[in-house]
Structure 1
Amino acid sequence: IIFLTPYSPDLNPIEEAFSKIKAWIHRNSDVFAADVGMFYDMYEALFVVTAEDAQGYITPFSQL
């Protein structure tokens, strides 16, 4: 058993996915300026993280 500190963003793979999604949102901030299609824009932002990205985030932790 490996005990982690109460909050370790460096040891939490989902943080890398959130970071990629937030970067996409910042790059496309002009799209989010209009409130009309925000739901669909958010939906599109979630697909920025690919299966390969997710595998890359998780693989280093499987070797701990």
Structure 2
Amino acid sequence: MNIFYLLIGVSLLVALIFLGAFIWSVRSGQYDDNETPSMRMLFDDDDVESESEINEEKKNNKK
């Protein structure tokens, strides 16, 4: 039965170490995305207006 207490203690210690490593990596910028913003402009397309929107604009401009 004492081995269960030891295993629980060791597992909590390992979990705390992983949590600390995760928090450290987030604060040090390991998960910052530096590549995507520069590539985003290559994939952005202008919104294409549908024919019905163009026809409505023409009607509004004629009035």
TM-score (structure 1 length as normaliser): 0.28
Structure having the larger proportion of residues in helix: 2
Bigger Rg over Cα: 2
Q: Which has the higher contact order (CA 8 A, sep 6+)?
A: 1
